[in-house]
Structure 1
Amino acid sequence: MENTQYEPATRKDSNKVYFLILVIVALLGTNAYLFFKDKKASDKIVTLTDEKSRMEIEIDKIEAELDKANTNNVKLSSEMKENQELARQKINELREELRKGKLTQGQLAKAQEEVKQLRYFVSKYTSDLAGLQKKNQALISERDSLKTTVANVSEQASRLEQQNSELNSKVKVAAALKSGAINITPVKVRNNGKETEVSRAGSAKKLRISFTIADNPISEKGMHDIFVRIVDPTGNLIVSDNGSLFTADGDDLQYTYKTAIEFDNAQGKVFNIDWTNPGPFQKGTYTVILYSDGYTMGTSKVNLK
């Protein structure tokens, strides 16, 4: 009878134990679920944070490439300047989004795609810039080559001009009239106009300068100016009244007398120039120098007693 009385109480205690066990198991399961959930969320946050850091580094690299590309001193077109500004604007926008804090998976995916597009954009920009730089370098090389060619042509032209000038000078010298023998005769002029050759200074009134022209086929035929310079026995040049100058042998000179002759390259033709002394002749030697075409023709002397 006693066993029958205690049996319900024992069963009731067993039920309580089972209930407690179930509660404990449920609590353990809940704790385990929360633990793994928190761990998964933590891992997810860590993953997002790592990806955010990686993208920040990637953006820094992209900006560094953009800065490096712009250190080549290449003149950018309007389109390339606009593209560069857009790239820098996108870099600033991405940095601002990453700076705001934790990203959701969707925001992360969007940011990753934008970084990918930015990478492509900057790569294309850098490639275009490199192409422009290469083209500029080719133009610079071509310009330098043209400069060298122009310098060479200019140098050659200067050399040819100098040679031509030297040749012209030689031709001019060669074409100038040159006298053959020059004879100087003192002449006395009587009251009746009759002329007589003399040798004394007191009797002479003028000097007759007789000369021939050396054969010269390149001399220009026609009228040629003849300048005469006469130096008296004291070494003084007898100067004409007008005091004009002429150029000969590279110098500006005064002359005593000026006239002209007609040259036709006839061999043996004798030309005569009479110079009347405005004052009395002196005893001694007179020197006569003839010039034409800018050069000396010849020189001769005469002695008066």
Structure 2
Amino acid sequence: MSNQNDIVNKGDRNKIYFLIVVIAALLGTNAYLYIKDEKQNERYISISTEKDRLKLEVEKIEVELDKANSLNLVLTGKLQEEQQSARDKIAELKAALQKGTLTQENLVAAQKEVRQLREFVNSYNEQILRLTQENLQLKSQRDSLKQFATAESIKADQLAKKNEELNIKVKTSASLKANNVEITAYRVKSNGKNIAVTRAGSAKKLSVKFNIVPNQLAEKNYHKIYLRIFDPAGNLIADENNMFEADGQEMQYTSSTSISYNDDNTTYTMDWVNPNEFIKGDYSIILYTDGFTMGKASITLR
């Protein structure tokens, strides 16, 4: 009996040991699987977090490029090409980061590309800053040149105005002035003889005599003399085609002639035959030459 009991107890103990080993193996397997799942979860969370970080970094880089473009700088061809290449790379990265899963290898490659983009943007911003400073300097120089040009233009205008005033003074000083201006009305006989008259009914022409005031500045040469005659009503007697310029304006004249001036106290005469009848009243005349008024006179016809 004793031996039989020993055999039974020994068999139970073997079963117990077996169960213990099985339970330990199961516990070990569960522990291994749990740890493995935890590591996988941690790895997934790490990849997801890095993915979000990279997305944020890419968006920041894109914002910096947009900010640089908002400065409206004229970029060189090289900078334009580099910026376009960067934007293409940003679009590729954003598309890759939108995917549901990323391998560790994909993540490492994305991290490298983002670092390269960051380096490019830093260099790009430095070049933009330099261009901005150069533009400010150019603008400052341009404004200075513009102010200088404006000041010089004002000076030139003032000088031109002074020169013009001086020229007018010189021309005025050199212009001829009439002296002892006299008007005589004449009746013309059939034989051509002129008879001085004072009545309007018998007058046919007016004769204007004058001397020239001595002027050493006046040019000793031929001068064109213009005569304007006004009737008693104040109307100018002139052909509308007879135009000249004097005292800064264009006007009509009644008659004209040329005289040779030699500063020798010569007496000059201008005759005007009235194509119409004279009327009673005062007739006035004005003489012009070299663009200026030369002299005036009047006559009364009864």
Q: Which residue of 2 aligns with 1:259?
A: 257
Distance 2:45 2:233 in 1: 121
Residue type at the aligned position of 2:73: V
Deviation at 1:233, TM superposition (A): 6.7
- Count of aligned residue pairs for this structure pair: 299
Question: Could you tell me whether the CA contact under 8 Å between 1:283 and 1:304 is conserved in 2?
Answer: yes
Separation (CA, whole Å) in 2 of partners of 1:32 and 1:127? 55
The offset of 1:177, in angstroms, is: 0.8
Q: Which residue of 1 aligns with 2:42?
A: 43
For 1:191 and 1:95, locate their aligned partners in 2 and report how far apart those are by CA, in whole Å. 116
SS at match of 2:73: coil
SS, match of residue 271 in structure 2? strand
The residue number in structure 1 matching 2:170 is: 171
CA–CA distance in structure 2, aligned partners of residues 168 and 36 of structure 1: 108
Structure-2 separation of matches of 1:35 and 1:236: 125
Q: Runs in 1 of length 4+ with deviation above 4 angstroms?
A: 183-196, 198-210, 229-240, 276-288, 301-305
1:158 is matched by which residue type in structure 2?
D
Partner of 1:293: 290
**Counterpart position of 1:273:** 269
Report the alpha carbon displacement of residue 116 of structure 1 after superposing the two structures with TM: 0.9
Q: List aligned pairs for 1:138-157, cutoff 5 A.
A: 138-157=137-156
Aligned residue runs from structure 1 range 91-110, under 5 A: 91-110=90-109
- Read off the aligned partner of 1:212 and give its amino acid letter: N
Structure 1 residues 195 and 76, CA gap change in structure 2 (3 angstroms): closer
Tell me the distance in 2 between the aligned counterparts of 1:215 and 1:175. Answer: 10
- After superposition, residues 17-28 of structure 1 pair within 5 angstroms as 17-28=16-27
Superposition map of 1:51-200 within 5 A: 51-184=50-183
Name which of structure 1's ranges 133-142 and 183-192 shifts more when overlaid on structure 2. Answer: 183-192
Secondary structure of the equivalent of 1:296?
Answer: strand
Structure 2 matches for 1:217-228, cutoff 5 A?
A: 217-228=216-227
Task: Give SS of 1:32's match.
Answer: helix
Could you report, residue by residue, the CA deviation over 1:78-116 in whole angstroms, capped at 9, with x for unpaired residues? 322222222122122223333333333333222211111
Change (3 A) 1:55 1:177: same
Match of 1:7, as an amino acid? D
Shift of the 102–263 alpha-carbon distance from structure 1 to 2, 3 Å rule, reads same
Q: Which runs of 5+ in 1 are unaligned?
A: none
Q: Given residue 291 of structure 1, which amino acid in structure 2 is its aligned partner? A: Y
User: In the aligned structure 2, how far is the partner of 1:204 from the partner of 1:147?
Assistant: 69
What letter corresponds to residue 60 of structure 1 in structure 2?
E
* 8 Å Cα contact 1:230-1:287 kept in structure 2: yes
Q: CA RMSD in A?
A: 3.8
Paired residues of 2:185 and 2:207 also in contact (CA < 8 A): yes
Say which SS state the counterpart of residue 224 (structure 1) adopts. Answer: strand
Q: CA deviation at 1:13?
A: 2.6
Structure 2, gaps ≥5 residues long: none
- Contact 2:257 2:270 (8 Å CA) reproduced: no
Give secondary structure in 2 for the equivalent of 1:74: coil
User: How far does the alpha carbon of each residue in 1:152-182 deviate from its partner, in whole angstroms, 9 at most, with x for none?
Assistant: 3334333333333333233322221112333
Q: Which moved more, 1:183-192 or 1:56-65?
A: 183-192
In structure 1, what is the Cα distance between the partners aligned to 2:95 and 2:278?
A: 114
CA distances 1:127-153 after superposition (whole Å, capped 9, x unpaired): 323333433343344334434433333
Asked if the contact 1:208/1:272 (under 8 Å) is kept, the reply is no
CA offsets 1:12-70 (integer angstroms, 9 cap, x no match)? 33333233223222222222222112212221121111111211221222222222222
Q: For residues 90 and 213 of structure 1, do their structure 2 counterparts lie closer, same or farther at Cα, with a shift above 3 Å needed?
A: same
Distance 1:243 1:106 in 2: 99
TM-score (norm 2): 0.77
